Amino acid sequence: RREESAACFAAIADLGEDEDARGAFDAVAGDLTDAAKRPKEWQARCGAFDAMARLALSGDAVSEKSAAAFANEAVTCLTEAFAGEAQRDARASAAEALGAWLAKIPGAIPKPAADALLASLKDAKDAEKLKPALRLLVRAAKANPAVLGSGSAVGLMPALAALVKAGSTKPLQRAEGTMALFLVAAAAAGDARRA
């Protein structure tokens, strides 16, 4: 049922232009940013996060300027939700949505998002925080290499390097180390292209 609801939001965004996409976006984002409207049940929050992720994947009729504005607003909204979400499944859904929107953001990762991700990356022993953060960064970096460009993304590199090192020595952290290695390599490749 949640998948069908998210697909409805995506269909509305795909069929419409800027105004229609804005209406669908505001409806979902409003439920996440307004404390009075924010769903109390974690399953409902997952549905809202899934709808936000679907909106990121749709909207080809939306102008480039509007798409950039949506991306910046969504990243701000989802960063707060990701940082404050305590329930494991809802946090993973928030991470997926944040990764989808970071992939569309023009330029490097915004500082508040980088700070929220850094907090998750530093706590390497808490896999429920670490894995979603790494997955969303990998998703964003694959779609938009500029997201790991200079700026606030530089602050992520020491934590990522520590994860690479831990992954090389501890078999239980190999997956996290591999994702971190990919991110460091992607950032280095972006630096080489800019030089």
Tens of pLDDT along 131-181? 899 998 998 888 888 888 777 778 889 999 999 998 888 888 888 999 999
pLDDT of residue 106: 80
For residue 98, name the pLDDT band (cuts at 50, 70, 90). Answer: very high
Quick check: 73 pLDDT over 70? yes
Which residue did the predictor score with more confidence, 156 or 56? 156
* Interatomic CA distance for residues 103 and 92, integer angstroms: 17
| Average pLDDT for 59-88 | 83
Quick check: 15 pLDDT over 60? no
* Interatomic CA distance for residues 75 and 66, integer angstroms: 14
Nearest CA-CA partner of 93 in 32, 39, 35, 47: 47
Reading the block at residue 45, the tokens are 């929050």
Name, in order, each residue with C-beta under 8 angstroms of 109's C-beta and a sequence gap of 6 or more: 102, 117, 140, 147, 148, 151, 152, 153, 156
Quick check: 1 pLDDT over 60? no
For residue 32, name the pLDDT band (cuts at 50, 70, 90). Answer: confident
